[in-house]
Amino acid sequence: MEAPVRKDRPSLFVLAKENVMKRKLHIPDQWKVRAFWLESGQAYLYLLPAFIILAVFTFYPFFSAFRLSLYKWSAIRPPGTYIGLTNYAKIFADRHFWNAVWNTFYYVAISVPVTLFLALLVANLLNKPLRMRTFARTSFFLAYITPLVAVAMVWSWMYDWRYGVLNYLLGFLGIDLINWLMDPRFAMLAVIIMSVWRFVGYQAIILLAGLQNIDKMYYDAAKVDGASGFRVWWNVTIPLLTPQIFFVFIMSMIGSFKVFTEIYVLFSGQPGPLKSAETLVFYILRIGRFDGNLLGRAAAASIFLFGVIFAFTLIQLFVTQRKVHYQ
Amino acid sequence: MLRKGILLGLIGLMLIGFGVFAQEPVTIEFWHSMSSGHQPYLVELVDKFMEEYPYITVNLTYQGGYGDTEDKVEASVVAGNPPTMVQLYENVITPLVEVLYPIGPQMTAEEKADILDGLVENNTFDGVLVSVPWNKSIMVLFYRSDLIDTPPTTWEEFATMAADLTVDIDGDGLIDRYGTGLRPYNPELFLNYLIQNGGTILNEDWSAVTIGDQAGVEAMQYAESLVPYSYISSGYLSDAVGSDLVAMFVDTSAGYYYNNKAAVDNGFELSVARVPAGPVNNKSAIQGTNLVVFDMGQTQAQKDAAVLLARFLIRPENTVAWSLRGGYLPVVKSAYEEQAWLDYLVENPEYIVMSEAMVDGFAQILHPNYGLMRGTIGGAFEEVILGASTAVDAMANLVLDLTDLLDD
């Protein structure tokens, strides 16, 4: 027996078709104005150079790296032989890869919050009406603009286990000599200390700009309410500084996941004793360039790194979206 | 009849003359990694070549360090436009062999036979001499002759002497001078031990890793036994010898200038000896690059010109000139009988030892992944020297890591 069909109601297909027709017919008024098209065209024209640069130097390399990660590289017949996901399987089975992943997370987990915390303190200090404030601001920023090679050279002297100033100072506290650059337990810590020192000034300047943008009326209101110094800082300064804190946090996290130069210079081109300071970027360059030309594997590792950074950035965006206050 | 013959003869001579002297001008690109220290000597040699072959112009271009040059060569191959001639390490040559113009078949039998035996093998691919050796150095033993009268000649002697020379001079409980020095990441030193103990990295057809065999494990255990008597530093040991921290160490002959200067500047005497012999032989690791000619869009005239340049650079008198001024060692046998080299040996007797070592040295294997293999071997050596792993465990892991690289 055939199922009864209700005749008083049009079928879904008819409804959908009508809907599409209606939508097709709906043309926004602004589209009918010639000036709109001229203005939009002009805007896209201005964006074109940036888009070309992004396309050539960001999008194309990204897709190219992804494609490369599926091949066994050959310079003579690039990109080589298609091997599917073998490169991913190889790196996931490589203990040096996981060592690099661990080192990278270790570096990020310590250097990002420590740098941000110190930068907040420094920014607050620099925001106070101190003597020689401009000199102090410049001094903190100097660490960032000094060439990294020079910075690493000086730090490698300071880290020297026999004659370095760091061990000399630790000696006053009764701490035994630490072989900073040769002891695998301290090598990554040495990189972190140097990086924190280098980036505190840069982050402090950005946070300082944020601090100076906070309207004085919030502080006046807090004063009227009888809030203490710490209360004002915690309940007024920090919430209104969240856009800058968020920016600095995201940027420094992305930068930290890609740390390489500091290690390369501090350990004279090596990934630290027993690869104790080998990060993902170092690993990628070591297998793809320094020690060999396994570009397929290197590309697979770089896609993995992209995924990690992307995931963390999304999480941060999601978590901090509710915490960031715009004035 | 006679006139006619003379006339024909003259015409023939003229044609030959035109053939020789009226060569079409040809320009070749030569990419190298010889920085400011060595570059002037290379320029001199190439200028001399261009005087001899006036129709050839050589554009010498410094491309940065070896790694930079390798990157640029790879990029140029991908783009289908490599230079005519480059200096490269063996493992970089391997994956490029099919786009190279073999130099060997263009050389005379005498020229080929003159190349040092240890260097022929690592420039030969599928039985053909594809590239020629160029800037080469060798591992030797540097020792403080103000502390050591007779340098050690065997592993046992070296270990005993290293222990004896490790001293606490001021009696504060800390060692002031070590018998020897070790750089933790030093694959060549381990390979020296391996080869001297009769071991190999891979089997003959590269189908299996053999480094973990008894010979390899023993070689690593020997290195492990030296650790208590070794000053361990990631930096060059010239600093250590200048600071009176080590009495002897194995290093490349290319470091002679720096090691000797550090010692002499601080009032010590430094001498050179062969690397102490292992249970099987006393071979030393040869290091350095080779010359290749590309066959990827180059004209026949360019390839011929580049081959001429390669042959010119390894002529006995030229490899001697390059070695005298560049600090390397000659790459052909007859160079060691050149008067200029013999005179140099009289003034610099330490080069006698280096020359002897060079003649029966061994070079790196040609596997395309040798670069990564070398790094992995260096990593295993480092684990042992820094006490993070025993020799046995490090070798077991090394075999797994190298096996992974075999088929990639």
Q: What is the 3-state secondary structure (H, E, C) of chain B?
A: CHHHHHHHHHHHHHHHHHHHHCCCCEEEEEEECCCCCCHHHHHHHHHHHHHHCCCEEEEEEECCCHHHHHHHHHHHHHCCCCCCEEEECHHHHHHHHHHECCCHHHCCHHHHHHECHHHHHHHEECCEECCEEEEEEEEEEEEECCCCCCCCCEHHHHHHHHHHCCECCCCCCCCCEEEEEECCCCHHHHHHHHHHCCCCCECCCCCCECCCCHHHHHHHHHHHHHHHHEEECCCCHHHHHHCCCEEEEEEEHHHHHHHHHHHHHCCCCEEEECCCECCCCCCCEEEEEEEEEECCCCCHHHHHHHHHHHHHHCCHHHHHHHHHHHCCECCEHHHHHCHHHHHHHHHCCHHHHHHHHHHCCECCCCCCCHHHHHHHHHHHHHHHHCCCCCHHHHHHHHHHHHHHHHCC
> Hey, are the CB atoms on A274 and B78 less than 8 Å from each other?
no
Q: How far apart are CA A202 and CA A208, in angstroms?
A: 10
Which of the four pLDDT bands, split at 50, 70 and 90, describes residue A327?
A: low
Q: What is the DSSP string of A269-289?
A: TS-SGGGTT--HHHHHHIIII
pLDDT at B16 over 70: no
Q: Are B357 and B284 in contact (CB under 8 A)?
A: yes
Q: For the range A176-180, what are the long-range contacts, defined as Cβ-Cβ under 8 Å and sequence gap of 24 or more? A: none
Question: Which residues of chain A are within 8 Å of residue B377 when distances are taken between CB atoms?
Answer: none
pLDDT at residue B37 is higher than 90: no
pLDDT tens sequence across B167-221: 999 988 889 999 999 999 899 999 999 999 999 999 988 999 999 999 999 999 9
Average pLDDT over residues B94-103: 94
Question: Chain B neighbours among A 194-253 (CB < 8 Å)?
Answer: none
From chain B, pick out residues whose CB is under 8 angstroms from the CB of A76. Answer: 77, 95-96, 98-99
Count other Cβ atoms within 10 Å, centred on residue A142: 10
Among the partner residues A95, A184, A291, nearest to B374 by beta-carbon distance: A291
Tens of pLDDT, residues A214-253: 998 988 898 888 888 888 888 889 989 988 998 999 999 9
The mean per-residue pLDDT over the stretch B349-364 comes to: 88
Tell me what pLDDT residue B192 has.
96
| Confidence class for position A268, pLDDT limits 50, 70, 90 | confident
- Say whether residue A90 is in contact with chain B using an 8 A CB cutoff: yes
ipTM of the complex: 0.78
Q: Is A275 on the interface with B (CB under 8 A)?
A: yes
Q: Which of B71, B74, B81 to mutate to test the interface with A (most CBs of A within 10 A)?
A: B74
Q: What is the pLDDT of residues B135-153, one digit of tens each?
A: 999 999 999 999 999 999 9
* Residue in A closest to B375 by C-alpha: A291
Interchain CB contact of A289 with B (< 8 Å): yes
Mean pLDDT, rounded, of chain B: 91
Share of chain B above pLDDT 70, in %: 95
Which residue is closest to B404 within chain A, CA to CA?
A90
**Measured distance between the N- and C-terminal CA atoms of chain A, rounded to whole angstroms:** 69
Q: What value does the mean pLDDT take over residues B372-391? A: 93
A281-301 residues labelled b (16+ CB within 10 A) or e (exposed): bbbbbbbbbbbbbbbbbbbbb
> How many Å is the Cα radius of gyration of chain A?
28
The residue among B71, B183, B244, B372 with the most chain A CBs within 10 A of its CB, best to mutate, is B372
Closest chain B C-alpha to A75 CA, distance in angstroms: 5
Considering only alpha carbons, which residue of chain A is nearest residue B387?
Answer: A274
Q: Look at residue A1 in the predicted model and tell me its pLDDT.
A: 45
Query: Which residues of chain A from 92 to 121 reach within 8 Å of chain B, CB to CB?
Result: 93-96
Q: For residues B326 and B324, what is the distance between their CA atoms, to the nearest angstrom?
A: 6
Q: What pTM does this model have? A: 0.81
Contact B386 A289 (CB under 8 A): no
Partner-chain contact B185 A270, CB within 8 Å: yes
Taking CB atoms and an 8 Å limit, are A268 and B386 in contact across chains? no
Share above pLDDT 90 across residues of chain B, in percent, rounded to a whole number: 75
- Please tell me if residue A181 touches chain B, with a CB cutoff of 8 Å: yes
Task: Write out chain B residues lying below 8 Å of A90, CB-based.
Answer: 404, 408
Give residue-wise pLDDT tens across range B221-242: 999 999 999 999 887 899 899 9
Average pLDDT of the segment spanning A250-263: 93
Q: Is the pLDDT of residue A6 over 60?
A: no
Q: Using one digit for the tens of pLDDT, what is the confidence trace for A81-136?
A: 999 999 999 999 999 999 999 999 999 999 999 999 999 999 998 888 877 878 88
Report residue A15 as tokens. Answer: 């409804």
The answer to whether A273 touches A182, Cβ cutoff 8 Å, is yes
3-state DSSP assignment of residue A130:
coil
Inter-chain touch B71–A289, beta carbons under 8 Å: yes
Phi/psi for A244 (5° steps) reads: -70, -40
Q: Tokens 């640069």 map to which residue?
A: A53
| Strands (DSSP E) found in A90-183 | none
Q: Which residues of B touch A (CB under 8 A)?
A: 67, 71, 74, 77-78, 95-96, 98-99, 184-185, 232-235, 369, 371-372, 374-375, 379, 382-383, 386, 388, 397, 401, 404-405, 408
